[in-house]
Structures are given as C-alpha cells and as structure tokens.
Amino acid sequence: MLFLLIAGKKALLDGGITDDVMGGLDKTRCGILSDSAMGGMKIFSDAIEALQISYKKMNPFCVPFSVTNMGSAILSIDLGWMGPNDSISTACATGNFCIVNAANHIIKGD
C-alpha cells in the first residue's frame, strides 16, 4: 500500500500536478484508477503467521489491506479526492483497461 501511495504522488509530480495545481482542483471530480495483481501481501503474510499462534494475534486489517482496491483508496483519502476510485486487475491488460476506464470517466463527466 505504501508503494502505491508513493508511486501515485510521484506520478502526479511527473505529470506536473504540483501543490499549487492541486489547490485549484475540484476534488469531487478527481479520482484514482490503479492497477495491481495482488494487494498488500506483507500484511497478509504476517496475518497468516500470527494465525498459527492464535487468532487473537491477527491484525484485524489484514483482509482490507490485502485487497487490490485499498491502495487507490488510501491514495485518494490522502489527497482528499472524492471522484471515481477504481482498482482494476486484468493480468497483462490491466494498464490498457485503466487507460480506457479513465477515458470513459472523462467522457461521461464523472
């Protein structure tokens, strides 16, 4: 999850979206489309190890942080963006699906 947060912020800077630009954006119309094959595997792995000791040792966030959409959710929460928030996982075609989905959101005015 931390990787997506850092990568997302770096992508914004690479695209010229600085803090000055962010201040002028309508955050209800800004969204995140991310792609990933798997979610936070470290948290999931730690939970499995803890489960072998006792179910009481398991992190209650292991399932929410293991799903692929949590990265985009954390990034949109951090940025304060309230527009579309999707996570697409379609193997090799994921990048293309994200581009098409983003274009469709723009066309529809989401």
Q: What's the pTM?
A: 0.74
Domain edges within the chain: 2-108
Tokens, residue 17:
């979206």
At which residue do the structure tokens 């209650």 appear?
Answer: 60
Span 49-73, average pLDDT: 79
DSSP character string of 31-50: -EEEE-SS--HHHHHHHHHH
Span 63-73, average pLDDT: 80
Topology classification of domain 2-108: Peroxisomal Thiolase; Chain A, domain 1 (3.40.47)
Tokens, residue 89:
């996982």
DSSP character string of 8-23: HHHHHHHTT--HHHHH
Q: How remote is the C-alpha of 96 from its chain's centroid?
A: 17
pLDDT band, residue 78 (cuts 50/70/90):
very high
pLDDT band, residue 39 (cuts 50/70/90):
low
Tokens, residue 23:
């201040």
